Amino acid sequence: MASPVQRVDARGRRAKAGTAARFLLPKIAQALFVVWASYTVAFLLIHALPGDPVLAALAVRGGDATTTDPEALAELRARYGLDGPLWQQYLVGFFGIFRGDLGVSIATGLPVTDTILRVAGPTAALAGFALVVGFLVALGFTVWAYVARPAWVRNVIVQIPPLGIAIPAFLTGLVLITVFSFGLGWFPASGATGFASVVLPGITLALPTAAIFFQVFSAAVFDAGASPFVFTANAKGLSQSTVVFRHVLRNAMLPAITIIGLQVGYLAGGTAVVETVFSRDGIGRLTVDAVLARDINVLMGVVVVVASVYAVVTLVVDALYGVIDPRTRTQVVGARPAAEAPVDGDPVASTFGGSAPVPAAFGGRAGDPATSEDETGARS
């Protein structure tokens, strides 16, 4: 017979399992809905286009549909799964997703799954490089802007990262190719072999990624830096690096995780321009080629893969929310600003709990090193 302590422990484990299930099951349902909705919308839009995909593919490959045997055309439509009514094509294609069967490419005659897997590696390497570099650049500029003094220096710093979005990716790519490939000969101008081939296209993608990250990082960091628990940390005599990296950045982590997850989903399918400029194999360039060849099976396959990646990344981000801040398992994520909801386990943050008003003597910007120093100088 179980002891009272064991019964309490068992009830606690069941309660935790129930909480995790209530937190994850709706997220999984949302992820499946995203994949289904993406497939359905793409199917309707692609099949709403005029013309026969088989005839268009023959024209792209130099064939003449007027001289092709009708029986041969019917055989091709049957091979590519385009001979049945639309509802049948929809159901066959949708349930084929769960078997890993995305059909056959009209342009090449190869399985769509194999075609996408062949180019998924270069795209993953490119997206991973851009994500890491963009994150480091954005984090560096964010910390620099937070500790910068006087205020006009900070204002100059915060204007630099948005230039990454203002400059078109194709222009950035052409400049990098001209300087570092044709001029200096440091990196190859095209191809997807070796680490060197990732650097230039990766930097091209990393610049706008860093700009997006910086907008979110800086807002979260300055909100967290204006919280009373940061004022407490400074009052305790902690070093600036300890305050910034242990308390400010830690409590600004949740919004950062959100934008990182969204950017991963974007980079999975948003590399078309960069891969085309650098003549690099990848999902983006495959999509462009499929559009030109009217290869609807490949287009549908790309939509399914990108939507699945986006759904999985979103699910992982939601799970990380629950790990970093367990309160999000039982309340709506983002219901309270990061500056008012310090992360559990931060001893300084828990001193105030994120709810005490900022002393007026600090101008409502407690913990802001630049503001504190400027006001100290003014009072002296």
C-alpha distance from residue 73 to each of 50, 97, 277, 294 (Å): 17, 26, 36, 16
Model confidence over 86-108: pLDDT tens digits?
888 888 888 888 888 888 887 77
Under 8 Å between Cβ of 333 and 53: no
Domains and CATH numbers, the chain: 112-379 (1.10.3720.10)
Indicate whether 256 pLDDT > 80: no
Under 8 Å between Cβ of 269 and 284: yes
Provide, rounded to the nearest whole percent, the portion of the chain with pLDDT above 90.
1
Under 8 Å between Cβ of 339 and 116: no
For range 31-55, the mean pLDDT: 82
Q: What is the DSSP string of 245-257?
A: IIIIHHHTHHHHH
Given this model, what pLDDT does residue 351 score? Answer: 38
What are 111's strand-pairing partners? 104
Model confidence over 291-307: pLDDT tens digits?
887 888 888 888 888 88
Indicate whether 175 pLDDT > 80: yes
Backbone angles phi, psi at 157, to 5 degrees: -65, -45
CA separation for the pair 281, 272 (Å, rounded): 10
Residue 84: what residue type? G
Residue 165: what residue type? I
Indicate whether 201 pLDDT > 80: yes
DSSP code of residue 330: T
